[in-house]
Structure 1
């Protein structure tokens, strides 16, 4: 477990106390391939515990999530365009502060998130945490633009293919269940404006007004490929992609 708040010079972010791994939702599982097999990322949007709007499916890891009303760009997920007839009052001011939101970029096997808005964002990236030997439920704070022009303090690496493949090979040697457990590393959660964790009043992301859950469908499919080569334990037939 981490201390309540410690600076992390490795990635220019701030750790907050991790929440329980039990709070991390499992990625959706489907037993059949679909015409959306070339979708590499699937993003779900939530307001507190309520899922709002349809999933945002994208064919690239280079995309934006903002608080605007949309431009028809297939690589831009604009949360401002999502209506909710039962929207809680606490959500409205937070939505108004998302602004330019965040940018996701993929290069040379590394996927990063950069905060572009004036307000901070709070990221839960299990694979990144595991690479740093942190608790996989650790939450990282990325500064908003209004706090300074230092891009490093506004950027975090959320997925590294080299690390993932190494862990996958180790899990493959140990068997089906170990590979299956890696699904938890193939997602990332982001809360806009409001932080969460043991050092916050909001102890879990379910207590935050506006947040997203990112599923890396391409890496979940990679797990499927490896699982298909292994002996399947009884009552454990699943597919992630």
Structure 2
């Protein structure tokens, strides 16, 4: 029994389904549809799928190509995302393909159904996530007269490197990592279309926060740093910048384009979810200078806090009260 390579691969896949989504020994439409789909996949595709679900997206994996137009109740990508990641998923429009996926690009015969090439869309008014209502900070509070254009650095000196940048520099953003009010390390320039920001090596290529030195770290900072894990992925896509939560804990995202003009929104993004963190079409609207009170106020930036939220709905009123957070400084010339 299970002597052939295909049978062993299918058994590996079902073991992961049980571990990720709970056991289901009885017959069901989901099982029947999955068996039907597995029969349509080549052995090589089953191997890629097994590796992807066994690592739970921790390592990069290729596309899993399925024929288009299969006669089954759910689309292949919807079926496998329900099977291995989100049992409550219902509609394909709840999914967004990640930038690493080549599915459907110029190919009308096949499409990618790798469940770790997709994320769920985080929306402020549609649960999940449970914290679904964005918090608006409509009035400036406790404005700091020493507020700097790009936040505080460890010496309270103005950092204007980004404002002097040009498209010739070749990067579309720079990353600054902060622990409370102290910037740790140098700015990290991003040249590729996407970048991973993660806690410790080995996690692949990208911005490893564990490599940044710091003389003294509080217990709160050490505790949050231990939760960063696989972290997040930033990608520059047509129309804006997207953030994908690759870790196992929520992240909190804010930018001048997330909320109504002149207001600030803080959006909770659960593990496995994506959000459009910055909308290029709205970047010319009214600024929110001073709305962050004690934090960065550049209208061309994104703030992301790991594990801890801030704003009127939280005990932390300002981003600088969060133990570990990231500032994404967009290149205005790109």
**Same fold, TM exceeding 0.5?**
yes
The structure richer in strand per residue is 1
- Structure 1 residues 184 and 15, CA gap change in structure 2 (3 angstroms): farther
Deviations 1:184-218 (A, max 9, x none): 3310000001111111111111111100110001x
Deviation at 1:40, TM superposition (A): 1.4
Deviation at 1:34, TM superposition (A): 7.6
Distance (whole Å) between structure 1 residues aligned to residue 212 and residue 175 of structure 2 = 13
- Structure 1 residues 7 and 89, CA gap change in structure 2 (3 angstroms): same
- Structure 1 residues 34 and 158, CA gap change in structure 2 (3 angstroms): closer
Structure with max Cα Rg: 2
| Partner residue in 1 for 2:306 | 192
Distance (whole Å) between structure 1 residues aligned to residue 209 and residue 300 of structure 2 = 22
| Partner residue in 2 for 1:140 | 267
What are structure 1's unaligned runs of at least 5 residues? 1-5, 146-153, 172-177, 223-241
- Structure 1 residues 117 and 209, CA gap change in structure 2 (3 angstroms): same
Q: Is the 8 A contact 1:197 1:203 kept in 2?
A: yes
Deviation at 1:124, TM superposition (A): 0.7
Within 5 Å, give how 1:59-138 maps onto structure 2.
59-69=191-201, 73=205, 76-129=206-259, 133=260, 136-138=263-265
Distance (whole Å) between structure 1 residues aligned to residue 149 and residue 312 of structure 2 = 21
Deviation at 1:106, TM superposition (A): 2.3
Q: TM-score, normalised by structure 1?
A: 0.67
| Partner residue in 2 for 1:40 | 172
Distance (whole Å) between structure 1 residues aligned to residue 180 and residue 168 of structure 2 = 28
1:15 aligns with 2:133: yes
1:52 aligns with 2:184: yes
Give the CA RMSD over aligned residues: 3.3
- Structure 1 residues 34 and 8, CA gap change in structure 2 (3 angstroms): closer
Q: Secondary structure of the residue that 2:133 maps to in structure 1?
A: strand
Deviation at 1:70, TM superposition (A): 6.0
Distance (whole Å) between structure 2 residues aligned to residue 185 and residue 77 of structure 1 = 23
| Partner residue in 2 for 1:156 | 275
Which of structure 1's runs of 4+ aligned residues deviate more than 6 A?
10-13
Higher RCO, 1 or 2 (CA under 8 Å, sep at least 6)? 1
Q: TM-score, normalised by structure 2?
A: 0.49
- Structure 1 residues 88 and 109, CA gap change in structure 2 (3 angstroms): same
Within 5 Å, give how 1:196-211 maps onto structure 2.
196-211=310-325
- Structure 1 residues 25 and 144, CA gap change in structure 2 (3 angstroms): farther
Distance (whole Å) between structure 2 residues aligned to residue 158 and residue 215 of structure 1 = 12
Distance (whole Å) between structure 2 residues aligned to residue 45 and residue 101 of structure 1 = 13
Distance (whole Å) between structure 1 residues aligned to residue 177 and residue 239 of structure 2 = 25
